[in-house]
Structure 1
Amino acid sequence: MLPEQEELLPPYDGIKLTDVRIVKSDKDAAEAMTALMAADVLGFDTESKPTFLKGELSTGPHLVQLATDDCAYLFQIGAMPAVAVLKAVLESTAVLKVGFGLSDDVKRLRAKLGIETGNVLDLSTALRKNERNTLGAKTAVARFFGKKLQKSKKITTTNWALPRLSEKQILYAADDAHVALKIYRRWRLDQAAE
């Protein structure tokens, strides 16, 4: 599908705010751990505060997003209970983590938090159908659901290190992880039907 064709598609309805959990307390972390470790597959992504100066190094990730079929969990890095849960979930080989363009995410998690992610599938390359270029979430949503994923450049380049994220940031981040899981499920369903 050509980019101009994607523009004409109806908008993708993302995850609802009521289905997003921001992990802040020990109780939140325990609930997240239970839900995430019970899943067979999770949507996965990270966000980092953007760098604008040449040579400036990223201090990210500042936010890690993990999504089950029903809920997205947002972990702001710096909140202590979050790191133990992230380490357990991301290093687990029993739970598959899926997302788009994950090589930087994996490198940054290793460098900043010492997390060695296990059992990760990068949909950017897995979903390619004899195409040379990697596939992004927007194109995948158009291909699998016939919808247009809204990706605001304004939100993408916001400060993800803020202690309090805006509602738009929360929804954007949650959608990134949740849509990856939904696309993975649809892709596997399509493969089984072939």
Structure 2
Amino acid sequence: MSTENRFIDKISNEQTALLPAIEFRGEIRIVENERDIAAACRYLAEQPVIGFDTETRPSFRPGVTFRVSLLQLSSPEVCYLFRLNRIPLDKAILQLFENKRLLKVGADVAGDLRSLRQIRHFRDAGFIDLQAIVPEWGIAEKSLRKISAIVLGQRVSKAQRLSNWEAATLTDKQQLYAATDAWVCTRIYERLLRTPKKPLRQ
């Protein structure tokens, strides 16, 4: 554990933009065939902590929304991209969501889970929302980009956020963006655990 907490409470967009970008350097595996779901879930179930995120095709028309297109679950070495526009939200995936011993770390977890429940119902357990816990370390920011900037000193790129997540083939940039978003949550969580807490001053 580091001996002191030097995290600032807030960071500006300008300060964040000056930081180096963080990128996932591990293996990215796309799951778009039903036959590949079980093996991916077996691997993920053996991890102590995994990163969690989702992507949804953006709608540029009021009142039009799409279902979750992509589910990202990442260990430090491998990130699986489940293309939910191609495969079902399978029972093996739901077992990961319901496993309280498997910690799943994300940002705005409640929003992601709400969107996933529009596809299929499940009872979640073992989820950790960075937005909910960072105030214990004196951090007032809520966006993953700014939490990463404060905790890791690196920014998460948001360049691909509004790209088409239901495209026939995901580009290399989309894959890297999606994998980084899930994986970086575990890096942030690990750093927090090694740092003393300091609650936000009221």
Normalised to the residue count of structure 1, the TM-score between the two structures is: 0.86
Q: Which amino acid aligns with 2:54?
A: T
Q: Give 5+ residue unaligned stretches, structure 1.
A: none
Q: Which residue is 2:19 aligned to?
A: 9
Q: Which residue is 2:58 aligned to?
A: 50
- Is 1:113 equivalent to 2:120 in the alignment? yes
Q: CA RMSD in A?
A: 2.1
Q: Which amino acid aligns with 1:182?
A: R
Do the aligned residues in 2 keep the contact of 1:23 with 1:82 (CA within 8 Å)?
Answer: no
Q: Which amino acid aligns with 2:194?
A: L
Do the aligned residues in 1 keep the contact of 2:89 with 2:119 (CA within 8 Å)?
Answer: no
Q: Which residue is 1:164 aligned to?
A: 169
SS of the equivalent of 1:62 reads strand
Q: How does 1:1-194 map to 2 (within 5 A)?
A: 1-12=11-22, 14-16=23-25, 19-25=27-33, 28-56=36-64, 58-80=65-87, 83-128=90-135, 129-130=137-138, 134-152=141-159, 155-191=160-196
Q: 1:31 to 1:142 in 2, by over 3 A?
A: same
Q: Which amino acid aligns with 1:35?
A: Y
Normalised to the residue count of structure 2, the TM-score between the two structures is: 0.82
Q: State the aligned residue count.
A: 186
Q: Which amino acid aligns with 1:86?
A: I
Higher helix share: 1
Separation in structure 2 between the aligned mates of residue 59 and residue 88 of structure 1, nearest angstrom: 24
SS of the equivalent of 1:59 reads coil
SS of the equivalent of 1:156 reads coil
Do the aligned residues in 1 keep the contact of 2:70 with 2:85 (CA within 8 Å)?
Answer: no
Separation in structure 2 between the aligned mates of residue 134 and residue 103 of structure 1, nearest angstrom: 17
Runs in 1 of length 4+ with deviation above 6 angstroms?
A: none
Q: 1:86 to 1:191 in 2, by over 3 A?
A: farther
Q: Which amino acid aligns with 1:167?
A: D
Q: Give 5+ residue unaligned stretches, structure 2.
A: 1-10, 198-202
Identity across matched positions, percent? 30
SS of the equivalent of 1:117 reads coil
